[in-house]
Amino acid sequence: MSSIPVIQRFVSVLWPSFLMAGAATVVLATALDPLELGRCLGAESIDRVGAYSVGFFFLWLLTMSSSLLTLYFQRPCHTPVERPFADDV
């Protein structure tokens, strides 16, 4: 197991994904009106704050999964087995 503490691994996934979800929400909020999008999708009862909240948490989940995959793929594939050298080779 790695020597990085568990809480540091959690923070290294949650904090960058939170920041990127916030930035992506700002970008999408300037480009899309959630009321128009709701009308196109058939959800007329949703308000702007609800749509922004759902969008933020969806984007946070998306960026969190990206960070988790990065953390997963940083692990080594296998650990080499050390064998003593044979003297009679």
pLDDT in tens, the chain (89 residues): 557 788 888 898 999 999 999 999 999 989 988 888 777 878 778 888 888 888 899 999 999 999 999 888 887 777 777 777 766 55
Report the C-alpha gap between 89 and 81 in whole angstroms. 19
User: Would 37 be classed as within a structural domain?
Assistant: yes
User: Would 80 be classed as within a structural domain?
Assistant: no
User: Would 85 be classed as within a structural domain?
Assistant: no
User: Would 87 be classed as within a structural domain?
Assistant: no
Query: Per the structure block, which two tokens stand in for 33?
Result: 């009106």
The tally of domains found in the chain comes to: 1
Structural domain for 39, as ranges = 6-73
Burial class (CB in 10 A: 0-12, 13-18, 19+), 59: buried
User: Would 86 be classed as within a structural domain?
Assistant: no
User: Would 69 be classed as within a structural domain?
Assistant: yes
Question: What pLDDT, on the 0 to 100 scale, is given for residue 88?
Answer: 57
User: Would 82 be classed as within a structural domain?
Assistant: no
Report the C-alpha gap between 57 and 44 in whole angstroms. 20
User: Would 25 be classed as within a structural domain?
Assistant: yes
